[in-house]
Every structure is written in structure tokens, then in C-alpha cells.
Amino acid sequence: MKSLAISKIIFTQHVRSMSIATFMTIVLLLAQAIAGHARGAPESFADLAEKLSPSVVNITTTTTIEGAVDQPMPQIPKGSPFEDLFKDFFNNGPGGQSRQRKSSALGSGFIISADGYIVTNNHVIDKADEIVIEFFDGNKLVAKLMGRDPKTDIALLKVEAITPLPFVGFGNSDIDRVGDWVMAIGNPLGQGFSVSAGIISARNRTLRSGPYDDFIQTDAAINRGNSGGPLFNMNGEVIGVNTAIISPNGGSIGLGFSMSSKVVSRVVKQLQEFGETRRGWLGVQIQDIDADMAEALGLKTAAGAMVSGVPAGPGADAGIIAGDVIISFDGVKVADTRGLVGAVGNADVGKVVRVIVYRDGKTQTIKVTLGQREVAEKVAVIPEAKVPESIKEAEEMGMKLIALTEEVRAKLNLSDEITGVAVFAVDETSDAFEKGIRAGDLIVEAGQVKVTLPEDITNIFKEAKKVGRKSILLLVVRGDDTRFVGLSLNN
């Protein structure tokens, strides 16, 4: 005890003689060492696997396929008197009725409540007539589909269990870092319960499978049959749902993707409560901003989400207009369209949010009462505009432009209410072609001014060059798609 007291006195004297900077450096190094030790490679995953495996299930689905062919039909010369006979025999059952066959599929899932709620991928149970759950102890139960969300590929099932089931909870996928250990449990290739481990290779990945993509990339082995299974952190929390792999041969090559628990937990909560998702809807068409667009708008950086169209809905009611750049939503800075879509989708339906837009060189705050996206998607939107009368043509920036006539409207399938200038042809060496403008497109605005005649565009281009502008914005419509294009005026 005496030697310990002496050591403490000596350590205290050393600390008192240190500068504040030296002392803080030592504290920081100690903290990093402790954190590094806490997140070091585990000696074994056995204890964690043993604890979590009972909460993971194998899923087998059965689907009835109408008109399926049990065996290939022989090649019969077209027009042969036996052609109809063979078609009836191979494609139909007795009495001319369509043949049926059963198709089975395998996947994984995990239990999230003692009363039997189970999470899996939507593609695992899609179109299934029967869903059978096999538990870790070998028992089987038929599950009922409670709700699904194709946009995130998540489905919620329910079984009626006699006794409480072992279950797991969601963790915060935003906390875990690239390089942290993770573990996947599932039913790869129908081989039964299997465990694999690896690290988080990357975060916030998008596979362009939906507007709410937020995948965790991992090198933990994930194969067919692992779909719908959980990705665990070392605390035994679900931080992802194993959904997809990238592979040239269909097997794991260390590129597995799990939808983050940040997305999944919210979807599951809504499916439990409503049987469907209920996402916020701002009611605007948006696009990312490139450097030319930013320069044309007077923005310092190419950030935010450009409003390219405002159909009837919450945004229009609140006063958002085409040409606005949304730079903040509900107190969160908007970096790009992906960020805005995610933020709006995660907001509650009916919530009043503050949207900050950049318009005419200054910012403006607009209060919007959010609608429900799922309801809005069922409603067709028709753009508003007027009818031009003159017949004129022009050529600007590699684009041949023509006014809208009855003939042009008929070719482009445009209603009489729509106004603008049609693009007749585009030089493939022009900046317009490189930016995606094609023959058949409709230019409705140039420099954020509505246009009805080719000469309107010519005059706007001349004025922009006269005042030294380097680029100009065009609002272009193609079918149901509306977007802004920033053209360089230096070409």
C-alpha cells in the first residue's frame, strides 16, 4: 500500500509539471487505446452466434404457377396438323385445363418480438401462396404476411406461437463504422443455419434499386438464401437486413449489401402499425445540380436539390415553384436529391416543416404541410401551360428548334394546354447533346423565363451572353419527366 501511495504522489507531481497540451495529448492517446481495444478482433464469434441463432429463421415459400410447362414441347413445323394437338397436350392438363406446378423458394428472416413478428426481404415472399417458417430448433409454423414495402425490399410476417419466441432488436446503423466487425446468420443456398463474419466495407451505398437505398457493404459471406437474414454488430443488434450481392458467378466474392437498420426499423414500425408504409410527400419534382446550373443560378457550390416541376400538392400549395433550389429541409441541410428524398420520406405525414429555398439570388423559408407519398403516387399529374400560335424555327447551341403546331403536338403526343418550344434535332458534338437533350424534347423555360417561340430562346441566349453569363438554364420536358439542364454559353 505504501509503494502504491508513493507511486501516486510521483504520478501527480509529473502531471502537475506538464503543460495542458501535453496532458490532453496523453488523455487522447489513452482514450484511443481503450477504444481500439474495445473494438479489436474478437477471439471467437461462438458465444454471440450461440446467443443469436435462435432468433434467426429459415423461410420456405410455395408459389402456384399457372400454365407452366412440365417438359419442353417437341419442335413441330409451323402449320402442321399436329401443332394444336401437341400444344394442348404439353401446355394443358386433362380436359384442356391449364397445367399448374408448385415453385419453391428459400430465404432467411429474424424474429423481432416474442409474439412472433418476423422481418425478411419482400423478394423472398413475393407472390407466395404459402410461407413456412423453420425455427432453429427444427419446429415449423405457417406465417401470415402483415405488410410489405417493395421500395426497400422489406416484408413483415407473423406466426402464432404457443410460447414466447427468442427475438432480437435493431441497433443504430449510423454508429457502426467502416472496419467494424459484423456477423451474418441465415440459410445460404438452402443448407440450413449458417454463420459468417467480416467487417463493414462501406456505408451509405446505393444499388439504384429504390429511392431509399442506404446499404451497408460487407465482406461477410452472403449467398442466395441469406436474403432477409440479419447483419449483427458485436453487441448482438441488427444493423442491417442482408439483401443483395454483386457477383459474376452468383456466389459470394465479398461484396454483400444489407439495407441499414436506420431505414428498416422505420419501415417495420409502420408495417406493424398500419400494414403499409406512410411516407412524407413534398410534392415536387427534383434533380441534382451540376456546375453549369450552379453558375447560371449564382450559387457558390453545386449543392441542394433543384425543383424542376411542381404538380398540384403540398409544395404548390405552400408556394414552392419550379426553379427553386431546396437547400434545407426541416432543419437539415440538403446536399443532393438523394438526401432530400430520404429526409422527406422519413418525415411524418401531416407534419408542418420549414423548407429553405434559394430563389432569385436570395433565400426564402416556406412552411409546407407534408402529404402522403403512397396516396400521391396513385394520382396522375397533368402540367399546366398555354398554346403558341406562330410557326417559326431557329437554331441555337446545336439545337434545331421549332414552335408547337398541331402537327408537332400530334407527333410529340402533347395536349393543347402545354406550351414551349420543341427540339427538332440536336448536333451530337454540342454541349446540349452531351447534357442529354434529344430530338422530341420540349423546352418550356430558358433562363427561368417561359418560352413559346424559338425566337424567345434566341433573345434570351443573346442577352445572357451580352451580360457576361457563362451558362444558362433550360427547363426540359420529356414525356412525364421534367428536368433542368445547364448549358455552357462558351461553346
- Cell numbers for 410, please give them: 400530334
- 227 an active-site residue? yes
* Cα 442 versus chain centre, distance: 29
Classified by CATH at the fold level, domain 54-277 comes out as Thrombin, subunit H (2.40.10)
DSSP class per residue in 426-467? E-TTSHHHHTT--TT-EEEEETTEE--SHHHHHHHHHHHHHT
DSSP class per residue in 249-317? SSS-SS-EEEEEHHHHHHHHHHHHHHSS---EE---EEE---HHHHHHHT-SSS-SEEEEE--TTHHHH
Nearest-angstrom CA–CA distance, 329 and 368? 10
**In angstroms, what CA-CA distances link 176 with 120, 171, 179, 484?**
22, 9, 9, 37
- Cell numbers for 362, please give them: 436570395
Catalytic residue among 108, 123, 194, 260: 123
Catalytic residue among 153, 324, 441, 456: 153
pLDDT in tens, 186-195: 988 878 889 9
pLDDT in tens, 171-221: 999 999 999 999 999 988 878 889 999 999 999 988 776 788 899 999 999
The answer to whether 355 and 320 are in contact (CB under 8 A) is: yes
Q: What are phi and psi of 73, to 5 degrees?
A: -80, 135
How many C-beta atoms lie closer than 10 Å to residue 9's C-beta? 10
Indicate the domain borders of the chain. Answer: 54-277, 285-376, 393-488
Catalytic residue among 194, 196, 201, 227: 227
- 180 an active-site residue? no
Task: Look up the CATH architecture of domain 393-488.
Answer: Roll (2.30)
- 201 an active-site residue? no
Answer whether 285-376 and 393-488 agree in fold. Answer: yes
pLDDT in tens, 368-390: 999 999 888 776 443 333 333 44
Q: Domain 285-376 class?
A: mainly beta
pLDDT in tens, 323-354: 899 999 999 999 988 889 999 999 999 999 99
pLDDT in tens, 437-482: 888 888 988 887 888 888 888 888 888 787 778 888 888 888 778 8
